[in-house]
Amino acid sequence: MATGPEHYREAEALIGHAEKAEDRGADDVAALNLRYAQVHATLALAAATAISRTDDMPVHDGDEWLRKAGWNPA
C-alpha cells in the first residue's frame, strides 16, 4: 500500500511517461498513463485531506490514516 506522498510521486512519474508516449505518437499509452496518474493523484489528495482532519475523527481512525500516510502516531 502506498502513502499519500508515494501516490503523488507516482502520479507525477506517470504524467512524465504520458508526455513521452505522446511525443512518440503512442496516444493510447499516453491516455492510459494519464488515467493511472489521475487515480494516484486522487489517492494522494484523499490521504492529505484525511490527515488534515484527524482531530475531527475517532482516535483509531485518525491513527490509521496517519499510519497509511507513513506517519507514526504517538
What residue segments make up the domains of the chain, in order of their start?
4-68
The answer to whether 39 and 10 have CB atoms below 8 angstroms apart is: no
pTM, to two decimals:
0.71
- Give 60's Cβ-side CA count (13 Å radius): 0
Q: What grid cell was written down for 40?
A: 494516484
Give the pLDDT confidence score for residue 13 in this predicted structure.
Answer: 94
Give the pLDDT confidence score for residue 1 in this predicted structure.
Answer: 66
Burial of residue 55 (CB within 10 Å: 0-12, 13-18, 19+) is exposed
The answer to whether 47 and 68 have CB atoms below 8 angstroms apart is: yes
Give the pLDDT confidence score for residue 67 in this predicted structure.
Answer: 76
> What confidence tens digit (pLDDT) does each residue in 19-48 have?
999 999 999 999 999 999 999 999 888 888
Q: What is the mean pLDDT of the chain?
A: 84
